[in-house]
Protein backbone atom coordinates (compact mmCIF):
# COMPACT_ATOMS: atom_id res chain seq x y z
CA UNK A 1 0.00 0.00 0.00
CA UNK A 2 2.89 2.37 0.72
CA UNK A 3 4.30 1.94 -2.78
CA UNK A 4 1.04 2.31 -4.72
CA UNK A 5 1.19 6.13 -5.23
CA UNK A 6 4.85 6.01 -6.23
CA UNK A 7 4.24 3.12 -8.61
CA UNK A 8 1.26 4.91 -10.17
CA UNK A 9 3.29 8.10 -10.67
CA UNK A 10 6.21 6.17 -12.16
CA UNK A 11 3.99 4.23 -14.55
CA UNK A 12 2.27 7.44 -15.65
CA UNK A 13 5.63 9.10 -16.29
CA UNK A 14 6.82 6.12 -18.32
CA UNK A 15 3.61 6.01 -20.34
CA UNK A 16 3.85 9.71 -21.18
CA UNK A 17 7.51 9.59 -22.15
CA UNK A 18 6.93 6.50 -24.30
CA UNK A 19 4.06 8.15 -26.15
CA UNK A 20 6.17 11.24 -26.85
CA UNK A 21 8.98 9.07 -28.22
CA UNK A 22 6.68 7.48 -30.78
CA UNK A 23 5.22 10.75 -32.00
CA UNK A 24 5.96 11.43 -35.64
CA UNK A 25 6.75 14.77 -37.21
CA UNK A 26 3.94 17.19 -36.69
CA UNK A 27 2.28 19.40 -39.23
CA UNK A 28 2.57 23.17 -38.93
CA UNK A 29 -0.38 25.49 -38.48
CA UNK A 30 -2.10 26.28 -41.81
CA UNK A 31 -1.35 30.00 -41.55
CA UNK A 32 2.32 29.19 -40.90
CA UNK A 33 2.40 27.09 -44.08
CA UNK A 34 1.27 30.05 -46.19
CA UNK A 35 3.79 32.34 -44.48
CA UNK A 36 6.57 29.80 -45.11
CA UNK A 37 5.61 29.66 -48.79
CA UNK A 38 5.69 33.46 -49.02
CA UNK A 39 9.08 33.53 -47.29
CA UNK A 40 10.49 30.87 -49.60
CA UNK A 41 9.29 32.81 -52.65
CA UNK A 42 10.84 36.03 -51.33
CA UNK A 43 14.12 34.23 -50.59
CA UNK A 44 14.24 32.78 -54.12
CA UNK A 45 13.59 36.28 -55.48
CA UNK A 46 16.52 37.62 -53.45
CA UNK A 47 14.40 39.72 -51.11
CA UNK A 48 15.89 38.48 -47.86
CA UNK A 49 14.23 41.06 -45.63
CA UNK A 50 10.73 40.08 -46.83
CA UNK A 51 11.70 36.44 -46.36
CA UNK A 52 12.83 37.09 -42.79
CA UNK A 53 9.62 38.99 -42.08
CA UNK A 54 7.49 36.10 -43.37
CA UNK A 55 9.50 33.48 -41.48
CA UNK A 56 9.35 35.48 -38.24
CA UNK A 57 5.58 35.82 -38.66
CA UNK A 58 5.37 32.06 -39.21
CA UNK A 59 7.42 31.52 -36.05
CA UNK A 60 4.98 33.72 -34.16
CA UNK A 61 2.04 31.70 -35.47
CA UNK A 62 3.65 28.31 -34.76
CA UNK A 63 6.64 28.67 -32.42
CA UNK A 64 7.09 24.93 -31.96
CA UNK A 65 7.67 24.08 -35.64
CA UNK A 66 11.44 23.62 -36.00
CA UNK A 67 11.75 23.94 -39.83
CA UNK A 68 10.88 27.62 -39.47
CA UNK A 69 14.16 28.11 -37.60
CA UNK A 70 16.00 26.42 -40.46
CA UNK A 71 14.40 28.81 -42.95
CA UNK A 72 15.34 31.79 -40.77
CA UNK A 73 18.92 30.50 -40.71
CA UNK A 74 18.95 30.20 -44.52
CA UNK A 75 17.74 33.78 -44.82
CA UNK A 76 20.42 34.95 -42.38
CA UNK A 77 23.09 33.17 -44.41
CA UNK A 78 21.74 34.78 -47.59
CA UNK A 79 22.12 38.14 -45.83
CA UNK A 80 25.71 37.19 -44.92
CA UNK A 81 24.85 37.05 -41.21
CA UNK A 82 26.51 33.73 -40.43
CA UNK A 83 26.60 34.33 -36.68
CA UNK A 84 22.85 34.82 -36.58
CA UNK A 85 22.37 31.74 -38.77
CA UNK A 86 24.47 29.65 -36.38
CA UNK A 87 22.27 30.80 -33.50
CA UNK A 88 19.13 29.66 -35.36
CA UNK A 89 20.73 26.32 -36.24
CA UNK A 90 21.73 25.75 -32.62
CA UNK A 91 18.23 26.55 -31.43
CA UNK A 92 16.88 24.00 -33.92
CA UNK A 93 19.43 21.45 -32.68
CA UNK A 94 18.39 22.11 -29.09
CA UNK A 95 14.88 21.07 -30.11
CA UNK A 96 15.89 18.21 -32.40
CA UNK A 97 19.47 17.04 -31.71
CA UNK A 98 19.47 14.61 -34.64
CA UNK A 99 18.30 17.11 -37.27
CA UNK A 100 20.76 16.52 -40.11
CA UNK A 101 19.76 19.68 -41.99
CA UNK A 102 20.48 21.81 -38.92
CA UNK A 103 23.85 20.12 -38.39
CA UNK A 104 24.84 20.60 -42.03
CA UNK A 105 23.59 24.18 -42.09
CA UNK A 106 25.52 25.07 -38.97
CA UNK A 107 28.63 23.51 -40.49
CA UNK A 108 28.20 25.49 -43.70
CA UNK A 109 27.73 28.73 -41.76
CA UNK A 110 30.86 27.93 -39.75
CA UNK A 111 32.79 27.31 -42.97
CA UNK A 112 31.55 30.61 -44.43
CA UNK A 113 32.66 32.34 -41.25
CA UNK A 114 36.13 30.79 -41.51
CA UNK A 115 35.92 28.14 -38.77
CA UNK A 116 36.89 25.27 -41.08
CA UNK A 117 38.00 22.92 -38.29
CA UNK A 118 34.61 23.19 -36.56
CA UNK A 119 32.89 22.77 -39.93
CA UNK A 120 34.80 19.51 -40.48
CA UNK A 121 33.63 18.32 -37.04
CA UNK A 122 30.04 19.04 -38.12
CA UNK A 123 30.69 17.13 -41.35
CA UNK A 124 31.73 14.08 -39.32
CA UNK A 125 28.54 14.37 -37.26
CA UNK A 126 26.42 14.69 -40.41
CA UNK A 127 28.07 11.68 -42.04
CA UNK A 128 27.55 9.66 -38.88
CA UNK A 129 23.89 10.68 -38.70
CA UNK A 130 23.25 9.98 -42.39
CA UNK A 131 24.93 6.62 -42.52
CA UNK A 132 24.95 6.59 -46.33
CA UNK A 133 27.29 7.89 -48.99
CA UNK A 134 24.55 9.72 -50.89
CA UNK A 135 23.61 12.12 -48.10
CA UNK A 136 22.65 15.46 -49.68
CA UNK A 137 23.28 17.55 -46.51
CA UNK A 138 26.76 16.03 -46.20
CA UNK A 139 27.53 16.81 -49.85
CA UNK A 140 26.33 20.40 -49.41
CA UNK A 141 28.48 20.82 -46.30
CA UNK A 142 31.49 19.32 -48.07
CA UNK A 143 31.03 21.84 -50.90
CA UNK A 144 30.79 24.72 -48.39
CA UNK A 145 34.02 23.58 -46.74
CA UNK A 146 35.70 23.39 -50.14
CA UNK A 147 34.60 26.97 -50.96
CA UNK A 148 36.06 28.16 -47.69
CA UNK A 149 35.29 31.40 -45.91
CA UNK A 150 33.27 34.09 -47.62
CA UNK A 151 35.39 37.01 -48.81
CA UNK A 152 35.46 39.81 -46.30
CA UNK A 153 34.48 43.29 -47.29
CA UNK A 154 37.51 45.50 -47.46
CA UNK A 155 37.33 49.14 -46.59
CA UNK A 156 38.70 51.81 -48.85
CA UNK A 157 42.06 53.23 -47.98
CA UNK A 158 42.29 56.88 -47.17
CA UNK A 159 44.31 58.65 -49.83
CA UNK A 160 45.42 62.16 -49.06
CA UNK A 161 45.77 64.58 -51.94
CA UNK A 162 49.28 65.45 -53.04
CA UNK A 163 48.52 69.17 -53.42
CA UNK A 164 49.72 71.37 -50.62
CA UNK A 165 47.32 73.93 -49.23
CA UNK A 166 47.83 77.49 -50.36
CA UNK A 167 49.30 79.77 -47.74
CA UNK A 168 47.89 83.17 -47.03
CA UNK A 169 50.32 86.12 -47.42
Q: Which residues contact 106 (CB under 8 A, 6 or more apart)?
A: 85, 86, 89, 90, 93, 122
Query: Is there a domain that residue 87 lies in?
Result: yes
Q: Dump pLDDT digits (tens) for 11-21.
A: 555 454 544 44
Query: Is there a domain that residue 14 lies in?
Result: no
pLDDT band at 155 (very low <50, low <70, confident <90, very high): low
**Does residue 160 have a pLDDT over 70?**
no
Choose among 92, 98, 94, 105: nearest CA to 130: 98
Q: Which residues contact 169 (CB under 8 A, 6 or more apart)?
A: none
How many structural domains compose the chain? 1
Query: Is there a domain that residue 164 lies in?
Result: no
Query: Is there a domain that residue 123 lies in?
Result: yes
- CATH number for 109: 1.25.40.10
Query: Is there a domain that residue 91 lies in?
Result: yes
Range of the domain at 82: 29-147
When mean pLDDT is compared across 7-21, 30-44, 60-74, the lowest value belongs to: 7-21
Enter the pTM of the model.
0.73
When mean pLDDT is compared across 51-60, 89-98, 154-163, the lowest value belongs to: 154-163
pLDDT band at 45 (very low <50, low <70, confident <90, very high): very high
Query: Is there a domain that residue 80 lies in?
Result: yes
Query: Is there a domain that residue 61 lies in?
Result: yes
Amino acid sequence: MRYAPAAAALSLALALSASVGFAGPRNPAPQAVSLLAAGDAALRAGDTQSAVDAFEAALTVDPGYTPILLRLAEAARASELQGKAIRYYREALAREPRNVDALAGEGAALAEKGALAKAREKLAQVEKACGTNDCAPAQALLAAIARGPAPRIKTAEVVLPDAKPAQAN
